[in-house]
């Protein structure tokens, strides 16, 4: 039996909502061919034609496309439960799914595809395996969102009939990940590769070196990794990739038709290298390692020959590990290098790239140096003209577009965004989407543009959920700019198609920003995987297994409990679960608020015959509110293996869910007020907001005037901390304009971990908590993990 790795006993994972992994019901509409992101070049629906994938379906591929067939089978098998055997063919199958390297429309080119769906078969044709891979990504989106689940769903698996003929606008469709300022391990990078390749991104630019860290082993200069890679922004252990790990990453990306472009930034952004080897400094004195976020202060010593020996050896080793055509040599923000030295340095090192058989890529300041064959200048400016870029184009450079005020995924969405920076401006989804790469720079001909890349700088990002939150939904927007013809793009159509991706990301466990600019689709109701733990794992408050990869097995013992912080029992009248039991059986208690909260219902579970032998159990529920807790009681060890469950009845929506919040204090860096709004901003780690020893306030904008009659606040004890830190005294206030406030509830002397204030209901847009100064000024006046608002 597989068991999940445990979270820490104090970790709280707060889900955005009840996360279903059940399939779309049979009566639901089949996904439209026109719903795909990025938008295809040509769509021809076939009215009334639907292909229903049968349990005995097969995947047949051209001999050279077996890997793509295996990839598709790996996506479909877990959710459908179908065997989907993969075999090769030289003919044209008349049933099942076929991936063929012949017969495609000539317009598809090297990376396009033709997808034909009939009642009998689904056939993807392309001229290359890359084209077939992108056709597979389109097919994924044409199936219900539940196809992304990692456990068996009931289906049906239906695809609308018709034809799509598609091809990319640009050959370079990129995403960049900064692993230097904060280091991200192999598993995180692989996950990001999977996520970006879904949207036909074909290039991953890895920023492998900077002032804060060097992230790749170079045998000729071993201290680069072991010393230069030993820290990161804010301190901490940093990290680096061994050559074997980097090779594994490159191969993993290649299997998803993603080319890795490694960057060694120079001559600036080099403090990690300079700190590792004193001889690279003009004064032969190594500076200390750097963990801040300033830039422009470091530079290689242009006048020393060892500098060029170093660069040549680094690039040679890196090129040998990287089969792709490009090496990125940075070249930006070299403020400590004179213009003359910059040109001297770049003119010396560019031939080193050519000697490895690679093409030079650099930030657009590279235009100051001589041109080399096929060189690409990556534009990151925020204006529509730039002298260095103009010089680069005049010398024959191609241009890769990464305007910081449109494509930098580390920029905040709004002033309230808890992560990211804002020096290039705020980038909401429409800002990222609503521009034309072909006309952005009047002085650059459209023929010079090779594509679009979305950089993700990591000054404020420390984990996968941070990366996802900043990338989604903006990365799919930029992917459409790079793939779709301009004629197929419009904001209103895109925002609707983008909103339909939300349930898919939820099933995949992708943390994303629910932009108010996008009409997010509501996921179909269905069953929730029950991720559970043994007693040795300690107290667990989880969201659902889909948010963590979704193993089907969850093993619990007598006395264990699981709390589903994102699953509200309000309005729910029934509970059912698929469960197996050994020992002597026992009961599942359904409670609200906590493991000792009000008992809403209890269901007996017999000995089903052991693990893997499942039975369906159910019970009616009495009225309750707050998050769901399942408590397991019985005798004997290893009582329960709970697969999934469902709540029936109508849920009461939380009006504060994912709404922007502001405050005048925070517990610590990265723990701002927005994290009390159901923790959706950071994946649920340490979601709290607090005020220390003085009167403070916290406010949430519901973004529309609506009736509110009940507010639930989860304090320190509900978040796994000491109940002694629960908020003592506070006023709850409402306002329609954010200026005039009315107190609707007062709480004094509170010791409870969860408080519920019922009033009105009152028409309001804003809710505010005024935390009253405690008598003891060393006391923590407020430590709030979650705030919820309901109509009644």
Catalogue the active-site residues. 333
Would you call 304 exposed, middle or buried from its count of C-beta atoms within 10 A (0-12, 13-18, 19+)?
Answer: middle
CA distances, 455 to each of 43, 207, 213, 299 (Å)? 31, 9, 18, 23
Burial of 635 (0-12, 13-18, 19+ CB in 10 A): exposed
In whole angstroms, what is the distance from residue 576 CA to residue 563 CA? 16
Query: From CA 292, how far away is CA 336, in angstroms rounded?
Result: 17
For residue 114, give the 3-state DSSP assignment. Answer: strand
Task: State the Cα torsion 522-470-234-266 to the nearest 10°.
Answer: 160
CA geometry: angle 313, 349, 391, nearest 5 deg: 155
Per the rule left: phi > 0, alpha: psi between -120 and 50, beta: everything else, 603 is beta
Helices 129-142 & 66-80, crossing angle to 10 degrees? 20
| Whether the Cβ atoms of residue 293 and residue 181 lie closer than 8 Å to each other | yes
CA 88, 93, 98, 104 torsion-angle sign: positive
- The DSSP secondary structure of 12-58, one letter per residue, reads B---SS----SPPPTTSPPPPGGG-SSPPSEEEEEEEEEEEPPTT--
**Strand, helix or coil for residue 236:** coil
Do 786 and 749 contact (CB within 8 A), yes or no?
Answer: no
CA–CA dist 317, 25 (Å, integer) = 54
Q: What whole-number distance in Å separates Cα of residue 257 and Cα of residue 251?
A: 10
| CA 484 remoteness from chain centre | 22
Nearest-angstrom CA–CA distance, 414 and 685: 22
Nearest to 683 by CA among 444, 463, 386: 463
**Pairing status of strand 689-692 against strand 640-649:** unpaired
Q: DSSP characters for 640-665?
A: EEEEEEEEEEPPPP-TTTT--EEES-
Contacts of 520-525 spanning 24+ positions with Cβ under 8 A: 523/17, 523/19, 523/20, 523/145, 524/20, 524/22, 524/23, 524/24, 524/25, 524/28, 524/144, 524/145, 524/146, 525/20, 525/22
Name the residue among 787, 779, 660 with its Cα closest to residue 714.
787
Helices assigned H by DSSP within 126-204 = 129-142, 186-197
Whole-number Å distance between alpha carbons of 718 and 565: 10
CA–CA distance, 769 with 459 (Å, rounded to integer) = 31
Cα-based torsion angle of the residue sequence 3, 238, 454, 69 in order, rounded to the nearest 10 degrees = -40
Residue 590's Cβ-count burial label (10 Å; 0-12, 13-18, 19+) is buried
By the 8 A CB rule, do 413 and 428 touch?
yes
Phi, psi of 754 (to 5 degrees): -130, 125
Query: Residue length, the chain?
Result: 792
Bridge partners of 578? 616, 644
User: Please, what is the angle between helix 339-355 and helix 305-321, to 10°?
Assistant: 40
């Amino acid at each position: 039996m597989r068991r999940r790795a445990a979270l820490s006993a104090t970790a709280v994972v707060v889900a955005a909502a009840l996360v279903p992994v059940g399939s779309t019901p049979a009566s639901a509409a089949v996904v439209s061919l026109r719903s795909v992101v990025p938008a295809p070049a040509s769509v021809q629906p076939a009215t009334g034609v639907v292909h229903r994938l049968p349990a005995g379906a097969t995947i047949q591929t051209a001999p050279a496309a077996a890997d793509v067939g295996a990839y598709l089978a790996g996506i479909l098998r877990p959710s459908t439960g179908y065997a989907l055997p993969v075999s090769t063919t030289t003919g044209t199958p008349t049933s099942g799914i076929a991936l063929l390297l012949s017969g495609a429309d000539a317009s598809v080119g090297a990376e396009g595809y033709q997808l034909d769906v009939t009642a009998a078969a689904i056939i993807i044709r392309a001229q290359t395996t890359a084209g077939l891979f992108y056709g597979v990504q389109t097919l994924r989106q044409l199936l219900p969102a539940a196809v992304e689940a990692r456990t068996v769903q009931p289906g049906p698996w239906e695809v609308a009939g018709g034809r799509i003929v598609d091809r990319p606008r640009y050959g370079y469709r990129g995403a960049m990940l900064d692993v230097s300022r904060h280091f991200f391990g192999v598993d995180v990078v692989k996950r990001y590769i999977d996520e970006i390749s879904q949207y036909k991104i074909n290039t991953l630019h890895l920023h492998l070196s900077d002032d804060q860290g060097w992230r790749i082993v170079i045998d000729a200069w071993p201290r680069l990794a072991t010393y230069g890679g030993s820290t990161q922004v804010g301190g901490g252990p940093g990290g680096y990739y061994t050559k074997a790990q980097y090779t594994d990453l490159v191969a993993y990306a290649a299997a998803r038709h993603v080319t890795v472009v490694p960057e060694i930034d120079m001559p600036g952004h080099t403090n990690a290298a300079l700190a590792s080897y004193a001889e690279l400094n003009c004064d032969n004195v190594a500076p200390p390692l750097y963990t801040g976020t300033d830039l422009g202060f470091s530079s290689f010593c242009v006048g020393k020959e060892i500098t060029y020996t170093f660069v040549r050896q680094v690039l040679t080793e890196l090129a040998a590990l990287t089969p792709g055509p490009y090496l990125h040599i940075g070249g930006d923000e070299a403020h400590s290098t004179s213009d003359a030295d910059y040109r001297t340095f770049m003119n010396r090192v560019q031939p080193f790239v050519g000697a490895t058989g690679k093409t030079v890529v650099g930030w657009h300041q590279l235009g100051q140096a001589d041109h080399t064959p096929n060189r690409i200048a990556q534009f990151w400016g925020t204006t529509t003209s730039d002298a260095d870029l103009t010089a680069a184009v005049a010398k024959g450079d191609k241009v890769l577009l990464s305007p910081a005020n449109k494509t930098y995924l580390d920029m905040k969405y709004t002033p309230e965004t808890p992560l990211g920076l804002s020096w290039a401006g705020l980038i909401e989804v429409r800002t990222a989407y609503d521009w034309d790469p072909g006309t952005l720079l009047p002085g650059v001909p459209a023929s010079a543009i090779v594509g679009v890349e979305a950089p993700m700088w990591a000054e404020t990002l420390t984990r996968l959920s941070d990366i996802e939150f900043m990338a989604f939904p903006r990365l799919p927007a930029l992917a459409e700019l790079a793939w779709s013809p301009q004629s197929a793009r419009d904001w209103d159509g895109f925002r609707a198609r983008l909103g339909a991706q939300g349930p898919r990301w939820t099933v995949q466990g992708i943390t994303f920003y629910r932009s108010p600019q996008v009409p997010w689709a509501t996921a179909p109701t269905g069953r929730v995987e029950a991720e559970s733990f043994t007693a040795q794992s300690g107290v667990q408050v989880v969201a659902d297994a889909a948010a963590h990869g979704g193993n089907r097995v969850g093993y619990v013992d007598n006395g264990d409990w699981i709390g589903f912080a994102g699953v509200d029992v309000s309005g729910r009248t029934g509970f059912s679960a698929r469960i197996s039991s050994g020992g002597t059986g026992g009961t599942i208690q359904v409670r609200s608020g906590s493991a000792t909260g009000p008992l809403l219902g209890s269901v007996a579970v017999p000995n089903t015959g052991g693990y893997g032998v499942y039975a369906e159990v159910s019970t009616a529920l009495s009225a309750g509110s707050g998050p769901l807790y399942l408590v397991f009681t019985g005798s004997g060890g290893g009582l329960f293996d709970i697969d999934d469950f469902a709540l029936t009845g109508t849920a009461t929506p939380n009006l504060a869910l994912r709404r922007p919040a502001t405050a005048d204090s925070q517990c610590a860096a990265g723990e701002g007020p927005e994290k009390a709004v159901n923790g959706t901003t950071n994946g649920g780690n340490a979601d709290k907001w607090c005020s220390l020893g003085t009167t403070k306030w916290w406010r949430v904008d519901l973004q529309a005037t609506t009736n509110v009659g009940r507010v639930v606040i989860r304090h320190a004890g509900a978040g796994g901390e000491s109940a002694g830190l629960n908020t003592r005294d506070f006023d709850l206030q409402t306002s329609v304009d954010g200026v005039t406030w009315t107190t609707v509830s007062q709480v004094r002397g509170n010791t409870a971990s969860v408080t519920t204030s019922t009033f009105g209901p009152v028409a309001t847009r804003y809710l505010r908590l005024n935390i009253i100064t405690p008598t003891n000024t060393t006391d923590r006046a407020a430590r709030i993990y979650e705030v919820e608002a309901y109509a009644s």
